[in-house]
Amino acid sequence: MFAAVVQKEPDYVLSHCAKYLARDNADERHSFFGSDAGQARARISEPWRFPIVDADDSGATDASEWNHVTFIYRAPDDRPDISVQLLTPCLGLHAPAALNPVDDSLYLALTLRIPKGRRHRYRFIVNGHAQLDPINPQTMTTPQYEIWSSFWTWTYNEPINLERWEMALVRRMTNALLPFQGRETRNLIERGLNDGNVTHFFRMDIPAGVANYIDNILAREERHHLHSYRLCLPMIDRVLRKRHPSVEPVNVSDPDYKALFDDMKNRSPKLIEDGWDPATYDSPGYFLYVLRRHTWTGAFSHPKYGGNPGGLGWAFLGETFRTTADPTKTAFDWTRAVEAPLGKSTEYRG
Amino acid sequence: MGTLRDHFDVVVIGSGAGGAPIAYELARESKSVLVLEKGPLLRTQEERGAGRLSDFKRDEMFNAGPERIITTPGMVNTGASFFTSHVEPDLNDEPHVFTNVDRPQDGSKITIEGYTAQVVGGGTQLYGAVSLRFAERDFKLKSANEGRKLQGDPNRDALKHVIDWPFDYDDLEPYYAKAEYLIGLNGTVAGQAKRFSKDSYQTPRPPNPISEFARVGMGKLGLRTYRTPLAVITEDHAPSDRKAGDPKVGYVNRYGDPLGYKSNTWVSLLRPTIREGHDLELRPNCVVTHLEASGRTISKIHYRDASGRPCMVTGKVVVVACSAIESVRLLMLSAEEDRSSFGSLVRYQEDGSLLGRFFLTHAFGGAEVQIKGQRFDKSISLDSDYATDSCASQDFLDAHGLWAGGAIYNNTSDQCLPITMARTEGDTDLDFFWGGFMSAQDHTSEAALQWLSAAFGARLSAAFMANQVPRFENRIELHPDVRDKWNRKCGHIIKNFHPHDEQVMSAFAEVCRQIMAAGVPEYTELGWGSVYGNAVRIANHILGGARFAQTRELGVLNTNCRIWDIDNLYVTDGAFMPTSGGANPTLTIQANAFRVADHLKQI
């Protein structure tokens, strides 16, 4: 089995549920612009937080390799004694496990210890009937065309929503936006930025994981932007192929990407002439805006979100920028604040 | 789980700066105390147990996470992005509506400004922990301005609604001393203009070297400096039984502290009281919906539990301390539930009623530069290193024709982490996150690197926090149309600054600019100025709306922060303040809460 049942304190569950699930409103103020219309989750806030994927805080020596995943079901007000079980291949499909009442609340919960970097499917069995998780919007379809609820643990790095060609194009575009990994930035450092310190150039050859971060966030926190990516990436691909017919879009140069970004920012007639369809997506500049924000957060947020593998982005900053008073010292000693084994903090455990 | 108790001597609504000191003091007087807190209880590592983890993280996505979209219809920013921390509300669930009182034609917007954290500890979990006392003059601004002529007051009405506090600095001083000792602060007394009866500060850690420019700049201008008092322990803290460690890690402002070094009211006041076995019960994840009155007494407190089910509890004394906007809103919602009883007791919507009036924040702003040719590791920092009181002096006020002064301090931890650097680039308020980065910076890897090269570890700012002129028109109301997730009317903040505020802010911003000019050898000026002209800006200093006064004609509360016509209802968050003080308000809210607690012990 991939997973084991672990115990979580009731206040942990309540503190992760009340803000999002306790409410009276009947209006669908969280419908993600209609994509969840008519479903229970359209009434609640941030359903993507469920099941709760969190650090393994057991204190075990290998805890950094695992997550605790807490499945939640809120019983109806008039049926607090409802029976709910979790059915998932993690535990074996022959062995559904019961979600247990949390104190005297209406929440039922079950926590599993699951390795990081995995994606799994599950269903709830509610009073004997299998159903999808009414909170979590994520689903996956099996080869038998069965739809299951799904979740993934931290640092999962397989495409979830974007296709592989889309991932490749996003990766190429984000490389052209990042303050590292581009040829021009390498040249800039070689020409003297920070005394031409080039000892860390090897990091520029390691993927920064930003495309993976974006795929993750489009599946969960910011799924309201997934549609934009689906609409815009084919148009960008079309524009690049028209401009550079003998070059694959992922091999187009940085200056040519800069020209593309300029055209997107300015919504230039040339962009439209080369294949951008304003009727499909009217504001290429807004898409660039979103892409730039996603690129920055993917490169510099904690690796658990899917980018910045091993703290690559932080290490780039720490190794590029040195203090003036002592150039042997970094101007961004991120490791002292961050938990081991990623960082070196002797106090903070993550 | 057994049956919940439903009667207490004292029920405190809100666990932050205004509520926790009262719970602390009265539980230790053998009273039974219940604290109801809307937000969760997020524990430190030490509380969770050996090897286990805190629910707070050193994680920039906890500061202001993924983008959400405002869906409330009919607002000028419907469809706009917002970014909040993990313990701030979802604006689509609990919107605050803002309208500029002088420009209603601009329409109304939903804003994140004016929220404190919804978590056990309240705003003291996320704040930068700057814990200054108010200046002695701040308590007597009506008296201190008798016969004075102010600059920038074209209608001669800046002082029209100013009242003195019903006590002076000397009356509050012992409670400042008590708060500083019990909560756990580091800083220095030497250099401060205020009188201290006791120095309870722990020794500050060495400043970040970049702050030396600010200290030198202040010194060259003749401003006396001191180490900024911060609610962060640097030594073991006996009153709360906390061990010191290394707090200087850059994850400061807008972060809860997983190790409990930041002296929030949970780790400094509530937790030790519970651990020592006093009768203090905390119910997190419980939102109070309304209060019910019987005669001149609050007879019932209605709330929802973590599942959202209605519950009720009673208390001989009821203390409302859930941040000024939400406290005033709770009083108004209660009045709408029962206009004839509760409504008349708080004079809701009566002619001359002051409930909701004189909403205040601060006059604030500063100056920021990018130091040329020098770089520092700003992540080894707390929120501020050096402060000065010199601009609260009578000489300074007379020279500039100002009604009141303020404090100036340098910001150390700002812009020390990469995502925050980008998200706050050129920001004007919390609603503006990412706006400057997206619109100002070029969009290539080379441009991004050049921006980082110039800015990373090289930015320094000085900020001021000064009194804002109270205006009758600045107010909190219930919005008639916008509802929260409990189908209750939302808070509507209607405000703007007074013209004299511009005079104050211009004078202080110029001092901040001069500090940078005098202290930094070579720099690029990034900007200097204030929030004047940006009426929505609150800085999460949420004050006024139920001010206290010597008479019922002048205030909603009496001198002990009790609603005049209700025998057992007190309001002790920033709502009580008739003037906002020339410093960050948290320590004064805490000191006043200790003062009110002393009063409550006697009844």
Token pair recorded at residue A132 = 């999808």
Q: Which of B249, B445, B457 sits opposite A184 (nearest CB)?
A: B445
CA distances from A289 to A222, A225, A234 (A): 14, 12, 18
Q: Check B40 against A348: CB less than 8 A apart.
A: no
Q: Would you place residue B408 in the very low, low, confident or very high pLDDT band (cuts 50, 70, 90)?
A: very high
**What integer pLDDT is reported at residue A189 of this predicted model?**
66
Please state at what angle helix A312-320 crosses helix A284-300, rounded to 10 degrees: 80
Pairs of residues, one from chain A and one from chain B, whose beta carbons lie less than 8 Å apart: 230
| Residues of B with Cβ-Cβ distance to A222 under 8 angstroms | 66-67
| Residues of A with Cβ-Cβ distance to B60 under 8 angstroms | 300-302
Which of A173-182, A318-327, B231-240, B549-558 is the least confident region? A173-182
Please count the residues of chain A. Answer: 350
**What integer pLDDT is reported at residue B3 of this predicted model?**
81
Bigger pLDDT: A130 vs A316: A130
Kindly report, residue by residue over B233-255, the tens digit of the pLDDT: 999 999 999 999 999 999 988 99
Which of B26-35, B376-385, B437-446 is the least confident region? B437-446
**What integer pLDDT is reported at residue B447 of this predicted model?**
86
Q: Which of B41, B419, B487 sits opposite A301 (nearest CB)?
A: B419
Q: Pick from B8, B54, B17: which is nearest to B281 by CA?
A: B8
CA atoms within 13 A on the CB side of A14: 23
**What integer pLDDT is reported at residue B114 of this predicted model?**
87
Q: Which of A18, A320, A325 sits opposite B285 (nearest CB)?
A: A18
Q: Check A29 against B251: CB less than 8 A apart.
A: no
Please list, residue by residue across B80-90, b when 16 or more beta carbons sit within 10 angstroms of its beta carbon and e when fewer do: ebbbbbbbbbb
Q: Check B444 against A181: CB less than 8 A apart.
A: no
CA distance A148 to chain B (A): 26
Domains of chain B: residue spans and CATH:
8-53+62-416+457-601 (3.50.50.60)
Query: Residues 27 to 86 of A: which have CB under 8 A from any B CB?
Result: 29-30, 33, 45-46, 55, 57-60, 63, 74, 77
Q: Does B437 touch chain A (CB under 8 A)?
A: yes
CA atoms within 13 A on the CB side of B293: 25
Q: Where are the domains of chain A?
A: 4-152, 164-336
**Above 70 in pLDDT, residue A193?**
no
**What integer pLDDT is reported at residue A203 of this predicted model?**
57
| Residues of A with Cβ-Cβ distance to B290 under 8 angstroms | none
DSSP 8-state secondary structure symbol assigned to residue B238: G
**What integer pLDDT is reported at residue A79 of this predicted model?**
85
Token pair recorded at residue B397 = 């006020």
CA distance A168 to chain B (A): 18
pLDDT, average across residues A284-306: 95
Q: Check B58 against A337: CB less than 8 A apart.
A: yes
Token pair recorded at residue B557 = 């509360």
Q: Check A22 against B304: CB less than 8 A apart.
A: yes
**Above 60 in pLDDT, residue A194?**
no
Query: Residues 112 to 171 of B: which have CB under 8 A from any A CB?
Result: 118
Kindly report, residue by residue over B510-520, the tens digit of the pLDDT: 999 999 999 99
Q: Which of A22, A189, A258 sits opposite B444 (nearest CB)?
A: A258
Which helix (H) or strand (E) is B397 found in, with range? helix B394-400
Task: Name the closest residue on chain A to residue B443, using Cα atoms.
Answer: A177
**What integer pLDDT is reported at residue B592 of this predicted model?**
98
CB atoms under 10 Å from CB of B73, counted, come to 10
Q: Check B457 against A17: CB less than 8 A apart.
A: no
Interatomic CA distance for residues B520 and B372, integer angstroms: 9
Q: Does A103 touch chain B (CB under 8 A)?
A: yes
Region of B426 on the Ramachandran plot (φ > 0 left; ψ -120 to 50 alpha; else beta): left
Which of A207-216, B14-23, B542-551 is the least confident region? A207-216
Q: Check B438 against A289: CB less than 8 A apart.
A: yes
Q: Does A21 touch chain B (CB under 8 A)?
A: yes
Tell me phi and psi for residue B401, to 5 degrees. Answer: 65, 40
Rg value, chain A, Cα: 23
Task: Name the closest residue on chain B to residue A327, using Cα atoms.
Answer: B375
pLDDT, average across residues A335-341: 96
**Above 70 in pLDDT, residue A181?**
no
CB atoms under 10 Å from CB of A194, counted, come to 16
**What integer pLDDT is reported at residue A319 of this predicted model?**
87
Kindly report, residue by residue over B343-355, the tens digit of the pLDDT: 999 999 999 999 9
pLDDT, average across residues B140-145: 98
CA distance A10 to chain B (A): 11
CB atoms under 10 Å from CB of B195, counted, come to 12
**Above 60 in pLDDT, residue A338?**
yes
Options 2.60.120.560, 3.40.50.300, 3.20.20.70, 2.60.40.10; CATH of A4-152: 2.60.40.10
**Above 70 in pLDDT, residue A198?**
no
- Do A254 and B445 contact (CB within 8 A), yes or no? yes
Mean pLDDT of all residues belonging to chain B:
96
Kindly report, residue by residue over A139-171, the tens digit of the pLDDT: 999 999 999 999 999 999 899 999 999 999 999
**Above 70 in pLDDT, residue A191?**
no
CA distance A244 to chain B (A): 20
**Above 80 in pLDDT, residue A196?**
no
**Above 70 in pLDDT, residue A182?**
no
Q: Would you place residue B469 in the very low, low, confident or very high pLDDT band (cuts 50, 70, 90)?
A: very high
Q: Check A25 against B57: CB less than 8 A apart.
A: no
**What integer pLDDT is reported at residue B232 of this predicted model?**
98
**What integer pLDDT is reported at residue B443 of this predicted model?**
75
Token pair recorded at residue B150 = 């102010």
Kindly report, residue by residue over B114-128, the tens digit of the pLDDT: 888 999 999 999 999
Task: Name the closest residue on chain A to residue B418, using Cα atoms.
Answer: A300
**What integer pLDDT is reported at residue B273 of this predicted model?**
98
Q: Check B93 against A24: CB less than 8 A apart.
A: no
Q: Check A188 against B450: CB less than 8 A apart.
A: yes
Q: Check A337 against B444: CB less than 8 A apart.
A: no
pLDDT, average across residues B55-66: 94
